[in-house]
Amino acid sequence: MYDLDRIRADFPILATEVYPGVPLVYLDSAASSQKPAAVIAAMDDYYRRYHANVHRGVHRLSELATTAYEGARVRLAEFIHAAPEEIIFVGNATEGFNLVAQSWGRANVGPGDEILLTEMEHHANLVPWQMLAAERGVTLRYLPFHDDGTLALERLGEFLTERTKLFSFTAVSNVFGTINPVRELVDAAHAVGALAMVDAAQSVPHMPVDVGQLDCDFLAFSSHKMCGPTGIGVLYGRRDLLETMPPFLGGGDMIRRVTFDGFIPNELPWKFEAGTPRIAEAIGLGAAVDYLSALGLDAVHDHEQAMTAYALESLSEIPGLRLLGPPGTQHGGLAAFTLAGAHPHDIAELLDKDGIAIRAGHHCAMPLHHKLGINASARASFYVHTTPDEIDKLVVGLHRVREVFRLGSQ
């Protein structure tokens, strides 16, 4: 039983007023999700009761902090069906891509090699590879998308060749909402001898993800999009690959031994976690995993699918509004759109007066918008606490935008 009222009560911020007498309608979870009280309490408890540095301390507080920190890693491993040593704590999904590009990429690619991306990628899955390509002489290729926001899968054979070393792609587009066939894309990469990396920032928070079933080589996601704190994310990597990769950052904790002549790196996963780690953030992320696990990711996904279907149907009836992305079950929990005669930033500003928080801009996907021939779009995104009433308020707000701009019947 998905008790929406109880779930909403778990999020303190949902009871706030944006302006006097104007309650918050939060439809920006794809950018960053709100935090349930359990996550806030877990981090507060750490700072109040047992804050200390982890791993090498022998006093009681350090032992408690280490147990909580490493316990969060174990729960995350279970959450995506990986081994704990395959879970690398990073600053965010973006750092995960940079780690793979700079560690695996520098050691394994060079002139004549190719890396395949798609035209719908977030900048986090574009710029690190562009930096690597400029440094190593690698060729980047981009699998196109169709007008409906789905990938041109029929053209995979043109882009995946014996020269492809890595295919890195998003599981769910943060603009179109497209749910891509991850296992099919991974299998296609492996068929030509390439590795596969998945941007799971918009999938892990919203649906069950099993890295074993996906058979991917790397996968990255961020805490702050899945009810957890900012400042931490996860890179999953196959153990055999991580073992051969050189460290990304140097310093304390990522070493086993240091002399004036060099160092011996630590074992996994600490080999890639230099310096004092994100202890409170990991504890908060562990609490977020517990929260989502208690709700059940299948139930979360079903709820979001229902909210998305309702939103797409309701928004499609607004004159002049153009929805981006595919229809139906291929669409994740967001709705990006343009409204003829109104700039997305103006739309977002007017909706804010009604307490409605949406995102406006290029959503860190400038090449995608350029291909569509637009500079920006507006995006409403949904999560565990979204209600049909909130979507109704969005629709009413958009009609008011049309009135303000005197858009008539266009």
CB 99 within 8 A of CB 69: no
The tokens for 14 are 């949902």
Q: List CB contacts of 300: < 8 A, sequence separation 6 or more.
A: 206, 207, 292, 384
Instruction: Walk across the sheet containing 164-170 and list its strands.
Output: 87-90, 233-237, 218-222, 195-199, 164-170, 114-118, 139-143
DSSP 116-172: EEETT--GGGTHHHHHHHHHHTPEEEEE-B-TTS-B-GGGHHHH--TTEEEEEEESB
In whole angstroms, what separates CA 208 from the centre of its chain? 14
Tell me whether residue 216 is one of the annotated catalytic residues.
Answer: no
Residues in the chain: 410
Cis peptide bond N-terminal to 111, omega within 30: no
Could you give the angle at the alpha carbon of 369 between the alpha carbons of 389 and 405, nearest 5°? 55
**Catalytic one of 364, 366, 395, 407:** 364
Question: Is the sign of the CA dihedral 59, 62, 66, 68 positive or negative?
Answer: positive
CB 117 within 8 A of CB 86: no
Catalytic residues: 364
